[in-house]
Amino acid sequence: MTSAHRQPAQDAGQILRGDEALALGAAAAGVRVVSGYPGSPATGVFDGLVELLAPDESHVEWAPNEKVAMELAFGASLGGKRSLVVVKSVGMNIALDPLATFSLSGSHAGLVILLGDDPSGWSSQNEQDSRWMAHVAEVPIVEPLDVTHAASLMVQAFAWSEAVGTPIIVRITRAMSLARAPVERPWHLPEGVGGFVRKRNRWIVLPAYVVNRHWALHRKLLRIQQAFEASPYDVAVGEGDLGVLAIGFMYSKLREMLAETWPGFAVLGLASVWPLPEAPLINWLRNRRRVLILEEGGPFAEVQVRALAQRAGLFLEILGRDDRVVPGEGELTPVEMADALSRLNPAYQPPKREAVERPMPSRVPLCEDCPYRPALEVLIEAMERHGGRERHIVIGETGCMVRANLPPMELFDVKYGLGSGLGLAMGLSEADTGHHIVALVGDSSFFHSDINAMPYLAQSASPVTVMVLDNRTTALTGGQAHPGSDTDERGGKRRAVDLVDIIAACGVRPALFRPEQREALATAVNEALSVEELRVLVVRGPCPRYT
């Protein structure tokens, strides 16, 4: 833990965004396999690696979903190649299933998970703090304090992972990914551990081994904690008995707000989030009378620090989200941070600040030439002919179709997570026979997880109308490839997997239309809404922007 903020090195490079800096660090660490699923604020790290890594020396490809991405990267780690998984907050929910088991055996070559959380839900259906899931899986977490040193911290995460044999999570937020600063040139990690290690039962996790493996995992976490206690990425500045513990990029936000003057506050910027660097943190807390904890998300670090202070017999007041000194919801703004500092020290007089209304990211209507538009217009017209909108329940999903919920269409009655449409449709059709259920499914969401519900839906023959909108790309997040795309992440041609064939293999023959076949599509939609049986319609047209 350094005693003053480190200035950029003399060889500091160009000004980069935070996500670009993290990509630079992963490349310097010698990453060779990159997988994930697109979603803000994590996508930019993946895109940066597409540009930085040579195609003949690396595998960089979006997976159908986060579970598969995690499994692919872990397999590559076992095979001796450093690997990176890029997921956003809600994607961590999907990746947690394999990760909670992988952590028991540990990894081989360095394995890092770039996790993008989204306080305020700028691009997400919730604002979950995914660090709690990392705690469940018992995977260490670090958060860069600033953009300047983010690349080097990413290299360090790979080094820690490989040295201890455990995955490491690097957590960022939207503010970190979009911030710009001169980036310190990262150090390069030497060549790694080699190929697969063949040792009887080394990579096998069975009930008979769980307790011993869990004990071994806890020993690894102790080693990581000791490494965190010597980390140069935690920074202490300022003086006084009033302390501010700023977690991750909150340190940069606080530094900017206070113009690096630290008026009467001792500030600790903590990149080592879990497990906490207990010994130096106790020493820092011992000299404080009151401490304010600033972090994006829930009181994750706050809960740990309170417990640590109690175990160490320290008598100090800890303020944060738990006692609402810091708001419990949303991304922290300078106004809210200044108010919390005033609660820490009533004598502190922050500069007058106007609350800035920050609009959510643009939610423009569907493009005029979007292939979804005619299909959705046909559906609306058909529902009006069959008893009106109130006679139907329309389920939407994440993707460009969410723009159909804006005026004037205002189409959705139900919308939750990515790939949930078919499962929700089955449940609604079972419980509510008074409405006709319509499920709108995107092609990327179909491959993500609707594909798991499709055989079940076909088997049950639920009276549902399914309309699959297939534009051959993941358009809402920037046109990333998925298994149904005929180009890869670098624009090269490849064979596309046809979701029509997959649906047919489940026992339902879907009707396939092009957007310009409006009359034929209208006939099929009208017929589907007239019968109480399962109908699947696929409308396929290229995205005019990305395909």
Sign of CA dihedral 169, 175, 177, 180: negative
User: CB 363: neighbour CB atoms within 10 A?
Assistant: 10
In single-letter form, the type of residue at position 386 comes to H
Residues 30 and 166 in one domain: yes
Query: What pLDDT, on the 0 to 100 scale, is given for residue 166?
Result: 97
Ramachandran angles phi, psi of 200, nearest 5°: -50, 120
Environment class of residue 194 by beta-carbon count within 10 Å: exposed (0-12), middle (13-18) or buried (19+)?
A: exposed
In a domain, 2, yes or no: no
Residues 327 and 381 in one domain: no
Query: What pLDDT, on the 0 to 100 scale, is given for residue 226?
Result: 97
Residues 127 and 195 in one domain: yes
Q: Are 99 and 129 in contact (CB under 8 A)?
A: no
Measured in residues, the chain has a length of 547
Residues 79 and 213 in one domain: yes
Query: What pLDDT, on the 0 to 100 scale, is given for residue 368?
Result: 82
Residues 180 and 225 in one domain: yes
In a domain, 92, yes or no: yes
Distance CA 526, CA 545 (A): 30
Considering only CA atoms, which of 245, 230, 228 is closest in space to residue 140? 228
Ramachandran angles phi, psi of 28, nearest 5°: -65, -25
Report helix angle 250-257 to 334-344, nearest 10: 80
In a domain, 4, yes or no: no
Q: Are 114 and 42 in contact (CB under 8 A)?
A: yes
Q: Are 377 and 366 in contact (CB under 8 A)?
A: no
Residues 195 and 270 in one domain: no
In a domain, 468, yes or no: yes
Residues 182 and 326 in one domain: no
Distance CA 116, CA 478 (A): 16
In a domain, 499, yes or no: yes
Query: What pLDDT, on the 0 to 100 scale, is given for residue 142?
Result: 98
Residues 125 and 78 in one domain: yes
Residues 19 and 157 in one domain: yes
Considering only CA atoms, which of 169, 33, 188, 194 is closest in space to residue 108? 194
Cis amide prior to 463 (ω within 30 degrees): no
Task: Tell me the average confidence (pLDDT) per consecutive run of 10 residues in the chain, 547 residues long.
Answer: 42 84 97 94 94 93 94 96 94 93 95 92 82 95 97 98 97 94 92 87 89 95 97 95 96 92 93 97 96 96 96 96 90 91 90 64 73 91 92 91 87 90 94 94 93 94 94 84 85 90 95 94 95 95 82
| Domain-terminating residue out of 203, 229, 255 | 229
Q: Residue 286 is part of which domain span?
A: 235-344
Query: What pLDDT, on the 0 to 100 scale, is given for residue 472?
Result: 86
Distance CA 236, CA 240 (A): 12
Q: Which residues contact 34 (CB under 8 A, 6 or more apart)?
A: 26, 46, 49, 53, 58, 59, 60, 61, 73, 83, 84, 86
Cα 116 to chain centroid, rounded: 4
- The CATH number of the domain holding residue 19 is 3.40.50.970
Query: What pLDDT, on the 0 to 100 scale, is given for residue 492?
Result: 86
Q: Are 45 and 23 in contact (CB under 8 A)?
A: yes
In this prediction the pTM is 0.90
Residues 327 and 376 in one domain: no
Environment class of residue 203 by beta-carbon count within 10 Å: exposed (0-12), middle (13-18) or buried (19+)?
A: middle
Map 290-340 to HEC letters: EEEEECCCCCHHHHHHHHHHHHCCCCCEEECCCCCCCCCCCCCCHHHHHHH
Q: Which residues contact 465 (CB under 8 A, 6 or more apart)?
A: 436, 437, 438, 439, 525, 528, 529, 535, 537
| Domain-terminating residue out of 198, 229, 260 | 229
Residues 135 and 32 in one domain: yes
Distance CA 202, CA 223 (A): 20
In a domain, 359, yes or no: no
| Domain-terminating residue out of 229, 260, 278 | 229
- The CATH number of the domain holding residue 279 is 3.40.50.920
Residues 295 and 381 in one domain: no
The secondary structure of 149-191 as a DSSP string is THHHHHHHHHHHHHHHTS-EEEEEEHHHHH-EEEPPPPP-PPP
In single-letter form, the type of residue at position 306 comes to R
In a domain, 350, yes or no: no
Query: What pLDDT, on the 0 to 100 scale, is given for residue 369?
Result: 84
Considering only CA atoms, which of 268, 332, 267 is closest in space to residue 297? 332
User: CB 297: neighbour CB atoms within 10 A?
Assistant: 23
In a domain, 312, yes or no: yes
Distance CA 445, CA 439 (A): 12
Considering only CA atoms, which of 470, 456, 469, 471 is closest in space to residue 534? 456
Distance CA 6, CA 194 (A): 35
CA distances from 294 to 193, 245, 251, 329, 505 (A): 38, 6, 8, 13, 52
Structure tokens at 194: 């080699």
**Domains identified in the chain, total number:** 3
